[in-house]
Amino acid sequence: MNVELEGKVVIITGGAASIGLSISKALIEAGAKVVIAARSNEAGEYAVKLLGDNCKFFQTDIGKDEQLDNLINKTITMYGKIDILVNNACSYGDEGSATNRETWLETLNINVVSAAILGEKLRPYLKESKGNIVNIGSISGTTAHVGRWAYPVAKAAMEHLSSSQALDYSEDGIRVNHLRLGHIWSAPFNGLTENNQEHANKTTAAYNLVGRVANPEEVANTVVFIASSKASYITGAKLNVDGGYSILGPERKDPLMRLLSEG
């Protein structure tokens, strides 16, 4: 049994579904006690049923400070400490340049502001446990995407938040790291392809070096590592979990010079 996180208490936002559920499962398999904060009662209760006694769920709207306080108080009452925060919840609200103010504010609030507020509220507990924060970002935070504004801007802001947290929280012995996710088999990909992962693999193959989308377990395994003592000297990092997407330039895998010569 993998026990890299034996006895650790983890709060994960958005940990009841999609990539978040896989992260929750991997954390528990690594020995952690996981507290899921999510808005959906149905998804949260399903996660607890699936993952067992080491998984707890507290319905939480992370955009509301009083609900964050309730989440923290219940976790401390139950376990007496908090070791790790995984800021995974996100809002995909985005209509490109036509995004209205309400959607802009919601997307920024969930992806950035709530992660910052929750991290600060947990700071004294993470200081005591010499814990760490893992922020789940995206390649969208570093690359412009056609027709998408609010979500990429929010993820770019989250990257800088991670740097700011790592810097200021270092005095308390708290590590903070940021994972840039690429194309992951998840709820958005499932919906866009009508649950056709083979099609997703084929379509995304030119955009990364591995030639497929990642399975959510591959993200989860990276979270377990970066949150564990095996990564004790890693803080302020921006770790690409993207199959090589980030190193490909505009030519992707097709060299322009060869294509020109073949013309």
Tens of pLDDT, residues 232-258: 999 999 999 999 999 997 777 777 767
Q: Say how far apart CA 203 and CA 225 lie, in whole Å.
A: 29
Return all residues near 159 (Cβ < 8 A) that are at least 6 apart.
137, 141, 142, 178, 180, 238
- Which one of the listed residues 125, 151, 169, 245 is annotated catalytic? 151
Task: Tell me the pLDDT tens digit for each residue of 163-176.
Answer: 999 999 999 999 99
Cα–Cα dist 8/31, whole Å:
7
- Asked if residue 185 lies in contact with residue 196, where contact means CB atoms within 8 angstroms, the answer is no
Closest CA to 21 of 217, 230, 249: 217
| CA proximity to 60, closest of 7, 110, 134 | 110
Angle, helices 101-108/150-169, rounded to nearest 10 degrees = 30
Percentage, residues of the chain above pLDDT 90: 86
Nearest to 177 by CA among 239, 128, 115: 239
What pLDDT was estimated at residue 263?
Answer: 56
Over residues 69-88, mean pLDDT: 98
Mean confidence (pLDDT) of the chain = 94
Average pLDDT rounded to a whole number, residues 100-123? 98
Task: Assess whether 151 carries a catalytic annotation.
Answer: yes
In this predicted structure, what is the pLDDT of residue 253? 76
Superfamily in which the 9-262 domain is placed by CATH = NAD(P)-binding Rossmann-like Domain (3.40.50.720)
* Residue recorded with tokens 């890299």: 4
3-state secondary structure of 183: coil
Alpha-carbon gap, residue 110 to 114, rounded angstroms? 5
- Please enumerate in sequence order all residues whose Cβ is within 8 A of that of 249, keeping only pairs 6 or more positions apart, or say none: none
**Residue 45: count of CB within 10 angstroms of its CB:** 13
Environment class of residue 100 by beta-carbon count within 10 Å: exposed (0-12), middle (13-18) or buried (19+)?
exposed
Domain boundaries, the chain: 9-262
| The pair of three-digit structure tokens given for residue 220, joined into one six-digit string | 């989860």
52: Cβ contacts below 8 Å, ≥ 6 apart: 28
